């Protein structure tokens, strides 16, 4: 059985986080360097807003069979989490590459300065 109270909480938070994500994406697009992350943020925010709409439809519906709406809701959330996961993996890779580069350049600079034996 579907718990409509939990669905209402999902709707509320998906709506809030979606709006904040869209706003941060628009602000990011102001900078030329951050246009791509800004557009991705806007898309993620729109996914959350769509999930909110579907959850609101499920809450307001008197129809017992809401399988199609639930599938649409889960699909939007799955896409949101997939994009977020890919962005996290890319961030981790870039952090590791940055640390490796810093260590490499640090040893190179120490060697050039005669500090490394």
4-43 b/e with 16+ CB inside 10 Å = b? eeebeebbeebbebbeebbebbeebbeeeeeeeebebbbe
Q: What is the pLDDT of residues 16-66, one digit of tens each?
A: 999 999 999 999 999 888 899 999 999 999 999 999 999 999 999 877 678
pLDDT of residue 116: 55
Q: Is the pLDDT of residue 114 over 80?
A: no
Task: State the Cα–Cα distance between residues 73 and 47, nearest whole angstrom.
Answer: 10
């Amino acid at each position: 059985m579907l718990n409509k109270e939990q669905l209402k909480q999902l709707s509320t938070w998906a709506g809030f986080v979606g709006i904040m994500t869209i706003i941060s994406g628009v602000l990011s697009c102001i900078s030329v360097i951050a246009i791509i992350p800004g557009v991705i943020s806007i898309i993620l925010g729109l996914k959350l807003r769509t999930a909110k709409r579907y959850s609101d439809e499920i809450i307001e519906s008197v129809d017992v069979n809401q399988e199609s709406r639930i599938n649409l809701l889960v699909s939007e959330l799955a896409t949101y989490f997939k994009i977020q996961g890919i962005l996290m993996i890319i961030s981790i890779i870039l952090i590791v590459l940055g640390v490796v580069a810093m260590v490499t350049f640090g040893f190179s600079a120490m060697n050039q300065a005669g500090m490394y034996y």
